[in-house]
């Protein structure tokens, strides 16, 4: 038997490389004979650094080049942060693995202040996420929210250079990069509802590639899959990409799934929240029902405004 090998398409940011290395490591533990190599590449999202993401438009800013590599056979799998993956896939590709979820929370990072509540009136907070902005502004209308682009390391450097009093980032990203000590406060999901799939890694590959599918299968996590199914179904029904003021977070209690959803205006003046519980087998239907309720409560107007503005 010839020795098998797998090529992992990955972005070149430190976080993306860490994630790809992590999956490589897990695959090699599972299959000691397997050769696994990384194929690093740049995506459009990595190149456009000066514009707020919501204004760049176009879904899948960070995944298209990786998908092209899969379709052209230059790589066998792509490792993604679940929350950056668009809801639709090119023909022949799909998310075949949803890994176990890690910390889903947003993190408050600041050299001077220990928590959001300690920030003085008018403090400057950096985040380019409309979801984080709207929840922050709803809670603290006095704060000045400023755009903050770039990979995790770039954002921390801007904070350290004194451009902001504090910034908000995904806790999982900092933890993966070994910078958990920079988290001053992990924001409870009640105050900062995460993006769908936050803290979850997912693997995309060619659906017809049975050999790769079989090698990857042990990495799939059924709980994480059901939670992500519900969260993404809600997002899809709201027609939201990842650069929208939408939060979605599901938890499991045995066979019951509890999904919370949020749609807000970026200025924080409008914030709709709702939740739903039901059997996990109906994860997608729960997500769709919650989306419908949010739309009926006015989410359609809020989102139309956001899309119209860009
Ligand atoms: N949008 C960029 C991105 N994609 C995934 C993560 C963090 C890790 C994760 O959520 O899995 C981040 C950084 C951030 O939002 O601060």
Answer yes or no: do 80 and 18 share one domain: yes
Residue 228 falls inside a structural domain: no
The residue from 76, 84, 103, 226 that is catalytic is 84
Answer yes or no: do 31 and 179 share one domain: no
Q: Which atom of ligand 1 is nearest to the CA of 84?
A: 4
- Span from the CA of 132 to the centroid of ligand 1 (angstroms): 12
- Which structural domain range is residue 13 located in? 5-101+200-220
**Over the stretch 90-119, which tens digit does the pLDDT of each residue have?**
999 999 999 999 999 999 999 999 999 999
Q: Count structural domains, the chain.
A: 3
**Over the stretch 17-71, which tens digit does the pLDDT of each residue have?**
999 999 999 999 999 999 999 999 987 777 665 555 545 445 567 788 899 999 9
Distance CA 232, CA 68 (A): 23
Residue 1 confidence (pLDDT) above 50? no
pLDDT of residue 70: 97
Residue 145 falls inside a structural domain: yes
How much is the average pLDDT of 231-244? 84
Share the mean pLDDT of the chain: 92
Prediction pTM value: 0.92
Residue 144 falls inside a structural domain: yes
Task: Specify whether 84 is catalytic.
Answer: yes
How much is the average pLDDT of 117-122? 97
Answer yes or no: do 124 and 169 share one domain: yes
Answer yes or no: do 84 and 68 share one domain: yes
pLDDT of residue 3: 63
pLDDT of residue 53: 52
Residue 196 confidence (pLDDT) above 70? yes
**What CATH code is carried by the domain that includes residue 67?**
3.40.190.10
CB neighbour list of residue 280: distance below 8 Å, 6 or more residues apart: 226, 252, 255, 256, 257
Answer yes or no: do 23 and 57 share one domain: yes
Return the CA Rg of the chain. 19
Residue 39 falls inside a structural domain: yes
Cα–Cα distances in angstroms (integers) from residue 152 to residues 116, 170, 189, in the given order? 20, 9, 21
C-beta of 98 in contact with ligand 1 (< 6 A) = no
pLDDT of residue 62: 74
Residue 146 falls inside a structural domain: yes
Distance CA 32, CA 15 (A): 25
Answer yes or no: do 89 and 26 share one domain: yes
pLDDT of residue 310: 63
Answer yes or no: do 10 and 94 share one domain: yes
**What CATH code is carried by the domain that includes residue 247?**
3.30.160.40
Answer yes or no: do 204 and 55 share one domain: yes
C-beta of 86 in contact with ligand 1 (< 6 A) = no
Residue 229 falls inside a structural domain: no
CB neighbour list of residue 45: distance below 8 Å, 6 or more residues apart: 53, 56, 61, 62
Residue 192 falls inside a structural domain: no
Answer yes or no: do 89 and 152 share one domain: no
Q: Which ipTM score applies to this complex?
A: 0.93
pLDDT of residue 51: 56
Answer yes or no: do 242 and 301 share one domain: yes
Answer yes or no: do 166 and 142 share one domain: yes
- Span from the CA of 126 to the centroid of ligand 1 (angstroms): 15
Residue 90 falls inside a structural domain: yes
């Amino acid at each position: 038997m010839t020795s098998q090998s797998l090529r992992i398409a990955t972005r070149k940011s430190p976080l993306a490389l860490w994630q790809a290395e992590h999956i490589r490591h897990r695959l090699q533990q599972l299959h000691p004979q397997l050769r696994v190599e990384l194929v690093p590449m740049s995506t459009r999202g990595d190149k456009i650094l000066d514009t707020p993401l919501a204004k760049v438009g176009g879904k899948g800013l960070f995944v298209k080049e990786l998908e092209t590599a899969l379709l052209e056979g230059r790589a066998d799998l792509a490792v993604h942060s679940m929350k950056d993956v668009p809801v639709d896939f090119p023909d022949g590709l799909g998310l075949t693995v949803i890994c176990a979820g890690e910390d889903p929370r947003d993190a408050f990072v600041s050299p001077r202040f220990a928590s959001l509540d300690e920030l003085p009136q008018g403090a400057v907070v950096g985040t380019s996420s409309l979801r984080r902005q709207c929840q922050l502004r709803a809670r603290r209308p006095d704060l000045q929210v400023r755009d903050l682009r770039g990979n995790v390391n770039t954002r921390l450097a801007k904070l350290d250079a004194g451009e902001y009093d504090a910034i908000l980032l995904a806790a999982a990203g900092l933890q993966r990069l070994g910078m958990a000590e920079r988290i001053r406060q992990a924001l409870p999901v009640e105050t900062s509802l995460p993006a769908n799939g936050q803290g979850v890694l997912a693997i995309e590959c060619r659906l017809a590639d049975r050999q790769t599918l079989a090698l990857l299968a042990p990495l799939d996590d059924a709980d994480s899959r059901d939670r992500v199914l519900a969260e993404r179904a809600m997002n899809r029904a709201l027609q939201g990409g990842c650069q929208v003021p939408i939060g979605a977070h599901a938890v499991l209690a045995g066979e019951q799934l509890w999904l919370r959803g949020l749609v807000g205006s970026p200025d924080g003046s409008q914030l709709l929240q709702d939740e739903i519980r039901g059997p996990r087998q109906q994860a997608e239907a729960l997500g769709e029902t919650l989306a419908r309720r949010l739309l009926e409560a006015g989410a359609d107007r809020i989102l139309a405004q956001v899309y119209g503005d860009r």
